[in-house]
Amino acid sequence: MSTSEYTVRRARTSDVPGIQALVEPLVQQRILLGKDLVVFYEAVQEFRVAEDAAGNLIGCGAVHVIWEDLGEVRTLAVDAAWLGHGVGHALLERLEVDARELGLSRLFCLTFEVPFFSRNGFVDMGTETVDPAVYAELVRSHDEGVAEFLDLARVKPNTLGNTRMVKAVTALSG
């Protein structure tokens, strides 16, 4: 996906320092949780990046599989100079394509950016949960995103003020 201003593509390992640099201001503002560099390298295959015409990273985002039908949008960040130019929307659209290709039918996010995600079809989950058998499997995960999705007490201090949101995506037939 591209416009004359920027392109969205799969992330490469060489992008990881740039991804961390994009995320860091949002960590400082307590909008995103900080991650060690090794975590970004481990998850690089989940990421898409946006780059401007000069090849500078201006945005990033990832989709992480949580369950057979459920993924999480993670680490969606756009350089402040590019806010309002459709970069976040373009990244989210690409992540939704990735989710469909993976066979997912729902995307979850935990966010302070409720208006952005609402404009892109996400709705507040409220107290929505999953089937008890699925819950029993998910609760075994050590992944913080799964704990956030389940709204477990152990993640509450880090998620205060965030909204759990979900969107149905149409899975590709296969």
pTM score? 0.85
Per residue of the chain (174 residues), give pLDDT as tens. 556 799 999 999 999 999 999 999 999 998 888 899 999 999 999 999 999 999 999 999 999 998 899 899 999 999 999 999 999 999 999 999 999 999 999 998 988 899 999 999 999 887 766 676 776 777 777 777 776 776 666 555 555 567 888 899 985 554
What pLDDT is attached to residue 32? 85
Could you give the CA distance from residue 42 to residue 142 in angstroms, rounded to a whole number?
15
CA dihedral 153, 159, 165, 171 (to 10 degrees): -80
To which H or E segment does residue 66 belong?
Answer: strand 57-67
Per the prediction, the chain carries an average pLDDT of 87
**For residue range 125-137, what is the model confidence (pLDDT) as tens digits?**
877 666 767 767 7
Domain ranges of the chain: 6-168
**Which tokens go with 107?**
């995307």
Write the CATH number of the domain with boundaries 6-168. 3.40.630.30
> Which bin fits 161, alpha (ψ -120 to 50), beta or left (φ > 0)?
left
Q: Is the CB of residue 103 less than 8 Å from the CB of residue 145?
A: no
Could you give the CA distance from residue 19 to residue 49 in angstroms, rounded to a whole number?
8
What pLDDT is attached to residue 150? 66
**For residue range 87-132, what is the model confidence (pLDDT) as tens digits?**
999 999 999 999 999 999 999 898 889 999 999 999 988 776 667 6
